[in-house]
Structure 1
Amino acid sequence: MRTLKICLTILCLFGLVGVNAQEKRNFKIHTVAFYNLENLFDTINNPLKFDEASPIMEMNFDRGGVYKKKVRNMARVISEIGKDVSNNSPAVIGVSEIENRDVMEDLANDPHLIQKDYGIIHYESPDARGIDVGLMYQKSLFVPLSKSSHELVIYDDLTRDRVLTRDQLLVSGKLDGELVHFIVNHWPSRSGGEARSRSKRIAAAKLSKRLVDSLQAIDPYAKIFIMGDLNDNPTNTSVKDILKAERKKEKVKLKGIYNPMENLQKKGLGTNAWRDGWSLFDQIMFTKPLLEKDYSSFRFYKAGIFNKNYLTNKRGRWKGYPLRSFADGGFTNGFSDHFPVYVTLIKEVN
């Protein structure tokens, strides 16, 4: 698959040309995305997992038909993320709430995606719900060089019992020839309340920060993406104080992290809704080298929430909320209770 070349008008707000000037320049463009797939479980009972509690396993009829529709719906969304700019589905996409590698393979082989020839990276996590994180990549655009899974060991503050949760996935490789790193997360939930569960997400942030530090110890200019459903907003302690992610580009120092999602949150946007309030738990942030103004290599262009009209409820109490797949014990033929997020990368070409 060829990498698309497009012609963009770069305005002065990007600091590339004068105040009253504009110029047309040719760029390669790729999308990096993340999507919480909301309980993408298969219909096979795994005795080693508590998958009986998954929505599809709790259904008493047509599990196979529901599963096929669920996969088809997820594949449709993935195929369209960032397509309005890149004319392509994501070069790389992190996913969460998947049961196993098999469901990722079914996703990659769906008619919406099969022509993209997605590769898959997945490890089993010890999570109590039986859900994992994973990474999908177009083989023609991204070549993995290393991969590893990193266990998050945490305990309940009151009972001191071990809390089994998702591992963090680290993948390094060449995106269209350039070395980049992806850390895929699904941090512990807010079960029991935000305050009581906060320490678990702080621990998750510390693990992500250690992974970033280890990469930057080798190369301070490493291009690193941290993505996932963090179950925290961009302004929460885990992101602001532990990862030290900045909202303003000019404040990001070498080895620092920029979080474009905080600006989206300030505009009142979100990726998931609860009790008439929006949160922006799904985030993609990255290190300073992706902010440089030299477009001879891939740099950040823009970030967004993929919240097309068909992904939202049209009526009733949940009007405007993400149109989830499962509700009231049945299948809605919807998508996910989270909207996907993405960033667009550009590189100047002759």
Structure 2
Amino acid sequence: MNFLKLTFCILTLSFLVTSNAQDKKFKIHTLAFYNLENLFDTINDPIKFDEYSPMMELKTNRADAFNQKTRNMARVLSEIGKDITQNSPALIGVSEVENKDVLEAVVNDSLLIEKDYGIVHYESPDIRGIDVALLYQKSLFTPISTSSHVLKIYDDQDGKRIYTRDQLLVSGELEGDLIHIIVNHWPSRRGGEAKSRSKRVAAAKLNKHIIDSLHAIDPYAKILTMGDLNDNPNNSSLKDVLKTKRKRKKVGFKALYNPFENFYRNGLGTTAYRDSWSLFDQIIISKPLLEKDYTSFRYYKAGIFNKNYLITTKGKYKGYPFRSWSDGGFSNGFSDHFPVYVYLIKEVPN
């Protein structure tokens, strides 16, 4: 046995002895976010531009594509964090959904129906007709209040308003612990990162306003803001506006910790473009979730859910997320984004 293996065995044995001596038990839940990539139904909505969605552009077999798409989404959602918790996520933020009906189809799939997910969804003014939403296991989480917060941004050239996604706030109890979830889908980088930057900065300012409002009521509020931010963890919207920290010990009172910044620094991502990875999908947490008192839920660790079946295996996009829509048709894939997740743990009294 070499030195590294011996050291590992000693450390493992030490951990087991300490754990047994303390005889502590913990419950653990997954909280996740997933961009579902254009989850549209097969019906033309006259008040939306959904006729330009990949689903509506299909000339045939729309129903089959919709059924398989929702099945694929259910499969992913059912498996995030399951290897550790033996359960699907307690809470799931989602984006790029057309309406509540498509989410009903996902949570009523046979892979998820026994989990009895509730849905918090508001119609937003997004020009493409896509929204954000929160799914929650009714046996684990009880919503207390929900609200949708409008992001007003304007075109730099003609001054016209750009209609985009609202930000969703859900406050409720996770097995008795009050937590606040904000679900986001910030403006895209259409036109280039620099040209569109101000729009995401505006989204970050709205997000900070929501967080500050929660802190004004309770400075020790447990807040998780999650979503497809269309910015990386080191961009100004996060570092200068939200003032996120990548090191736990640097997170001050009322400050925010971004566990995904270290993933990004290590070259990992959730979506790819022109052979370059971006980590747009993130879950950011407030200081109280970092405390060491595990009598209530605390942050344990974060991850990117990038199982092999979610990765394209051939062609020019080999290694990219296996997306649902390509070459004008349904590919039987999943999404052009990987999901992200965090674990929350709580000590169970003996």
TM-score, normalised on structure 1? 0.94
- Structure possessing the higher radius of gyration over alpha carbons: 2
**In 2, Cα distance between equivalents of 1:19 and 1:81:** 26
Residue 165 of structure 1 aligns to a residue whose secondary structure is coil
- Counterpart amino acid of 1:167? D
Once the two structures are superposed, residues 75-112 of structure 1 have per-residue CA deviations (whole angstroms, 9 ceiling, x without a partner) of 00000000011000000000000000100111110111
Give the secondary-structure state (helix, strand or coil) at the position aligned to 2:206. Answer: helix
Q: CA RMSD in A?
A: 1.6
**Alpha-carbon distance in structure 1 between the residues aligned to 2:211 and 2:129:** 26
- The 3-state SS of whatever aligns with 1:127 is coil
User: What is aligned with 2:6?
Assistant: none
Deviating above 6 A after TM superposition, structure 1's stretches of 4 or more consecutive aligned residues are 18-21
Structure 1 residues 235 and 58, CA gap change in structure 2 (3 angstroms): same
Structure-2 separation of matches of 1:183 and 1:137: 13
- Cα shift at 1:19: 9.6
Q: In 1, distance between residues paired with 2:310 and 2:323? A: 8
The letter of the residue matching 1:248 is K
Hey, what's the Cα distance between the residues in 2 that align with 1:216 and 1:304? 27
Equivalent residue for 1:217? 216
User: 1:344 corresponds to which letter in structure 2?
Assistant: Y
Aligned pairs for 1:18-37 (under 5 A) are 22-24=18-20, 25-37=24-36
2:323 maps to 324
Q: Is the Cα contact below 8 Å between 1:157 and 1:196 reproduced in 2?
A: no
Letter in 2 for 1:240: K
**What corresponds to 1:83 in structure 2?**
82
Structure whose residues are more often helix by fraction: 2
Deviation of 1:45 (Å):
0.4
Map of 2:58 onto structure 1: 59
Q: Please state how far the C-alpha of 1:34 moved relative to its aligned partner.
A: 0.2
Percent identity over paired residues? 68
Residue 266 of structure 1, CA deviation: 1.3
C-alpha displacement at 1:156, in angstroms? Answer: 1.2
Query: How far did residue 22 of structure 1 move?
Result: 3.6
Distance (Å, rounded) in 1 between the aligned partners of 2:235 and 2:160: 25
Counterpart secondary structure, 2:212: helix
Runs of 5+ consecutive residues of structure 1 not aligned to the other structure: 1-10, 13-17
**1:318 partner amino acid:** Y
Displacement of 1:159 in angstroms is 2.2
Of the structure 1 ranges 72-81 and 261-270, higher mean CA displacement relative to structure 2 is found in 261-270
Alignment-derived partner of residue 255 in structure 1:
254
Tell me the residue number matched to 2:7.
none
Match of 1:145 in 2: 144
| CA distance in structure 1 between the partners assigned to 2:81 and 2:279 by the alignment | 19
Q: Secondary structure at the match of 1:66?
A: helix
TM-score (norm 2): 0.94
Once the 2 structures are TM-superposed, how far is the Cα of residue 20 of structure 1 from its aligned partner?
11
The letter of the residue matching 2:210 is L
Residue 338 of structure 1 pairs with residue 334 of structure 2: no
C-alpha spacing 1:254/1:333, structure 2 compared with 1 (3 Å): same
Distance 2:239 2:119 in 1: 31
Say if 2:308 is the partner of 1:312. Answer: no
**Cα shift at 1:340:** 0.2
> Which structure 2 residues correspond to residues 1-350 of structure 1 after superposition, within 5 A?
22-24=18-20, 25-349=24-348, 350=350
CA distance 1:74–1:194, change in 2 (3 Å):
same
Structure 1 counterpart SS, 2:56: coil
- Structure 2 unaligned residues grouped into runs of 5+: 1-9
* Alignment deviations for residues 13-62 of structure 1 (CA, whole Å, 9 cap, x no partner): xxxxx999742431000000000000000001000000000001000000
Q: Select between 43-52 and 156-165 the one with higher mean Cα deviation.
A: 156-165
SS at match of 1:57: helix
- Specify the alignment match of 1:5 in structure 2: none
CA distance in 2, matches of 1:310, 1:185: 26
Q: 2: distance between equivalents of 1:221 and 1:21?
A: 34
SS at match of 1:169: strand
Letter in 1 for 2:64: G
Aligned residues: 336
- Show CA shifts across 1:266-296 (max 9, x none): 1111000000000000000110000001111
Which residue identity lines up with residue 87 of structure 1 in the other structure? Q
Residue aligned with 2:216, SS: helix
